[in-house]
């Protein structure tokens, strides 16, 4: 009996330490909660930069340059899960939240991304409110969701006690960003925006224009009508909305219209920078 009481006291002490650590980390720079606070309070909005290049040097540089969040892209490009772990680790200690775009709305990819230390997930190809509800559930442990337990790497990377993982994620839930990139999503936008647990939506112009048969033609009436419908619905609900901005003028335009999130891509910035530098010596 004495040994059982001693074991119980040790277990209680471990849980107390885990809870104290969780409280300390729940709003740390670069955490999901810290990014949420920025989304809600920054007049100029936030910057989300997609990382397609499989390099922790790139993510570290973008975080140091001031990105509020970096989305490591598993849907497009050559990144794999080993890259994800290194890229997430490369921004630890900065004020930049690492999130992962998964290839589809399914539990395995989400679980692996979060267990590698990501602060959230970007979900592609949502078409209905049921899709978004399913996405939200993959982010959370039971009873709120159906995420399996095993944050071995995340606990080490983020500094919370393994035994306190559930408490950590209860206080600091993973970020949830949903892409609006299909015609069906536009048709169902009111029901989609009503789903609880989503932090932001991104209007994915290139995907949506392609889905509407007007790839890259953002002046086409069908795209403009879809864009307007999404904007009006999101702004009416006060839901943070993002879109791609590859120039300062475009970012200013989006902010003036009410967007909270501007999006870019590492490959674009690299090419644009090298092109500019090449122009300095061109004939």
Predicted confidence at residue 26, as pLDDT, reads: 59
Predicted confidence at residue 155, as pLDDT, reads: 87
The domains found in the chain, sorted by start residue, are 2-279 (3.20.20.60)
Give residue-wise pLDDT tens across range 201-240.
Answer: 999 999 999 999 999 999 999 999 999 999 999 999 999 9
Q: Clarify whether 76 is annotated catalytic.
A: yes
Give residue-wise pLDDT tens across range 100-126.
Answer: 999 999 999 999 999 999 999 999 999
Q: Which of 76, 140, 255, 268 is catalytic?
A: 76
Predicted confidence at residue 174, as pLDDT, reads: 97
Taking alpha carbons only, the member of 48, 55, 92 closest to residue 70 is: 48
Predicted confidence at residue 2, as pLDDT, reads: 56
What is the SS3 assignment for the chain?
Answer: CHHHHHHHHHHHHHHHHHHHHHHHHCCCCCCHHHHHHHHHHCCCCEEEEEECCCCHHHHHHHHHCCCCEEEEECCCCCCCHHHHHHHHHHCCCCCCEEEEECCCCCHHHHHHHHHCCCCEEEECCCCCHHHHHHHHHHCCCCCCCCCCCCCHHHHHHHCCCHHHHHHHHHHCCCEEEEEECCHHHHHCHHHHHCCCCCCEEEECHHHHHHHCCCCCCCCCHHHHHHHHHHHHHHHHHCCCEEEECCCHHHHHHHHHHCCCEEEEEHHHHHHHHHHHHHHCCCC
The reported pTM is 0.89
Predicted confidence at residue 221, as pLDDT, reads: 96
The stretches in the chain having pLDDT less than 70 are: 1-26, 283
């Amino acid at each position: 009996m004495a040994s059982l009481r001693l074991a119980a006291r040790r277990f209680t002490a471990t849980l107390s330490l885990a809870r104290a650590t969780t409280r300390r980390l729940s709003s740390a720079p670069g955490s999901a909660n810290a990014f949420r606070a920025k989304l809600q309070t920054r007049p100029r909005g936030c910057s989300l930069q997609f990382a397609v290049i499989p390099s922790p040097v790139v993510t570290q540089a973008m975080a140091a340059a001031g990105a509020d969040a970096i989305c490591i892209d598993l849907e497009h490009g050559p990144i794999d899960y080993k890259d994800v772990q290194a890229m997430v680790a490369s921004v630890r200690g900065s004020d930049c939240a690492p999130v992962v775009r998964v290839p589809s709305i399914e539990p395995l990819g989400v679980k692996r991304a979060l267990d590698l230390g990501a602060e959230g997930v970007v979900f592609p190809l949502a078409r209905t409110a049921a899709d978004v509800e399913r996405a939200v559930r993959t982010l959370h442990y039971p009873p709120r969701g159906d995420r399996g337990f095993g944050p071995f790497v995340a606990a080490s990377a983020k500094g919370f006690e393994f035994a306190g993982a559930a408490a950590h994620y209860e206080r600091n839930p993973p970020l949830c960003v949903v892409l609006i990139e299909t015609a069906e999503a536009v048709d169902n936008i009111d029901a989609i925006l009503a789903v609880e647990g989503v932090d932001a939506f991104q209007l994915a112009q290139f995907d949506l224009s392609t889905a509407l048969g007007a790839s890259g033609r953002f002046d086409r009436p069908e795209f403009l009508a879809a864009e307007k419908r999404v904007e009006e619905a999101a702004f009416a609900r006060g839901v943070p909305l993002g879109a791609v901005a590859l120039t300062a003028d475009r970012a200013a335009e989006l902010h003036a219209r009410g967007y909270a999130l501007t999006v870019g891509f590492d490959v674009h910035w690299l090419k644009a920078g090298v092109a500019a530098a090449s122009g300095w010596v061109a004939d």
